[in-house]
């Protein structure tokens, strides 16, 4: 579902707004938020590509800019008091302009979802949710989030009708699709040999991967406010690009860089999720990630088939993969006679400990 700008604008005017401005921020979103997160391999709790969480600091930034243009003293948002988004908005707005007052009616009036829907109805505000379908959804280029309604029972399988970006893997084409993605310094720049700007590249991948049922995520996650919640995500392009980016890094980063990157990934993902995009630590980590990407250039081939996304090929001019070292065939350059000496020293602490301290060596 593509968001329909005129209807969003009309909805604002229907609520009694004197003026309504809609900003297309897709390019900014991709350049300043999505791609840095991709370079960091950001995934919250190893599952959620953070589409909603990444959009919040940008919305806050544009909101604060607009408040300044209009000379406003206060800004408002529709978050309840139970979720992560209120934290992300409030912290980001305060980081950008601590003087702005923040008004959050749903939170201040402690409204339930049903009450919010009834309130909107009473005041002629058109919203997609109805009391029969209580889902709360959020969508952008990096993915779609769906929660509430029957999904609140973590035992209930998500009904097919909640999905919008992905075809059911069972109904996906019987023939796999292959797609080649080229990266320059950790940024995807070409699809199937064609130069594309970030927004078009993500758009096209969403279309293609979604068609093949890639990818649906069912996540019971830890919210910042201490609540566990069950959320379903659809993230076609994010899934493919994250898998491809990780595969390319595996080829060009040293083992130590890869291990360190994993730690940075976790910290960076938590910062995004927890509303700390505009923090010095996030900026410092971004500088590290940026530096780590200087050799992350090359191509990755991905196979999409009935909900799965598999990397089946990768190459880079900076590859550290050395066939002469890896091969078990002729042309082996690895000096096998050096291995026993290496193993002798490597295993020294284990042997010492086993001799001195172990009573039963079989456990």
Name the minimum Å distance from CB 229 to ligand ARG.
6
Name the minimum Å distance from CB 256 to ligand ARG.
32
Q: How far apart are CA 239 and CA 304, in angstroms?
A: 11
Q: Which two tokens stand for residue 300?
A: 């990755």
* Residue number, 136 or 258, with CB nearest to ligand ARG: 136
Q: Which two tokens stand for residue 318?
A: 């900076």
* Residue number, 46 or 170, with CB nearest to ligand ARG: 46
Residues that bind ligand ARG (CB under 6 A): 52-53, 84-85, 136-138, 145-147, 231
Name the minimum Å distance from CB 147 to ligand ARG.
4
Q: Is the distance from CB of 268 to CB of 289 less than 8 angstroms?
A: yes
Name the minimum Å distance from CB 140 to ligand ARG.
11
* Residue number, 144 or 245, with CB nearest to ligand ARG: 144
Residue 337 DSSP symbol: G
* Residue number, 166 or 292, with CB nearest to ligand ARG: 166
* Residue number, 2 or 19, with CB nearest to ligand ARG: 2
The strand ranges marked E within 214-280 are 216-222, 228-234
* Residue number, 84 or 316, with CB nearest to ligand ARG: 84
Three-state DSSP at 225 gives coil
Q: How far apart are CA 272 and CA 254, in angstroms?
A: 26
- Tell how strand 74-76 and strand 101-103 pair up: parallel
Q: Which residues contact 166 (CB under 8 A, 6 or more apart)?
A: 209, 210, 213, 214, 215, 216, 234, 236
Our CA dihedral for 27, 44, 248, 175, rounded to 10 degrees, sits at -80
Q: Which two tokens stand for residue 216?
A: 């649906």
* Residue number, 44 or 305, with CB nearest to ligand ARG: 44
Name the minimum Å distance from CB 243 to ligand ARG.
21
What are the Cα distances from residue 127, in Å, to 55, 103, 113, 136, 231?
20, 20, 12, 10, 20
Name the minimum Å distance from CB 88 to ligand ARG.
8
Name the minimum Å distance from CB 232 to ligand ARG.
9
């Amino acid at each position: 579902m593509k968001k329909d700008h005129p209807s969003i604008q009309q909805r604002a005017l229907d609520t009694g707004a004197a003026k309504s401005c809609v900003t297309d921020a897709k390019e900014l979103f991709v350049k300043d938020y999505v791609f840095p997160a991709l370079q960091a391999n950001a995934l919250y709790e190893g599952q959620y590509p953070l589409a909603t969480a990444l959009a919040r600091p940008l919305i806050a930034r544009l909101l604060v800019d607009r408040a300044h243009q209009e000379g406003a003293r206060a800004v408002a948002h529709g978050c309840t008091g139970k979720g992560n988004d209120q934290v992300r908005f409030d912290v980001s707005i305060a980081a950008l302009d601590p003087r702005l007052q923040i008004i959050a009616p749903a939170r201040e009036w402690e409204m339930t979802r049903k009450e919010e829907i009834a309130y909107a109805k009473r005041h002629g505000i058109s919203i997609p949710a109805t009391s029969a379908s209580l889902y709360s959804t959020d969508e952008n280029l990096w993915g779609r989030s769906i929660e509430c309604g029957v999904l609140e029972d973590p035992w209930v399988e998500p009904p097919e009708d909640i999905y919008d970006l992905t075809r059911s893997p069972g109904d996906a084409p019987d023939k796999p699709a292959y797609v080649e993605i080229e990266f320059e310094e950790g940024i995807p720049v070409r699809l199937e040999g064609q130069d594309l700007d970030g927004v078009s590249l993500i758009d096209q991948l969403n279309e293609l991967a979604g068609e093949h049922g890639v990818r649906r995520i069912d996540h019971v996650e830890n919210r910042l406010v201490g609540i566990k919640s069950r959320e379903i995500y659809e993230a076609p392009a994010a899934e493919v690009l994250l898998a491809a980016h990780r595969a390319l890094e595996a080829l060009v980063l040293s083992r130590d860089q890869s291990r360190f990157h994993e730690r940075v990934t976790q910290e960076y993902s938590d910062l995004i999720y927890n509303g700390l995009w505009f923090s010095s630590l996030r900026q410092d980590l971004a500088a590290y990630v940026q530096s780590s990407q200087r050799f992350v250039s090359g191509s990755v081939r991905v196979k999409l088939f009935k909900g799965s996304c598999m990397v089946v090929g990768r190459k880079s001019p900076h590859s550290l993969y050395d066939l002469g070292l890896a091969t078990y065939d002729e042309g082996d350059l690895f000096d096998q006679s050096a291995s026993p000496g290496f193993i002798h020293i490597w295993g020294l602490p284990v042997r010492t400990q086993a001799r001195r301290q172990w009573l039963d060596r079989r456990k």
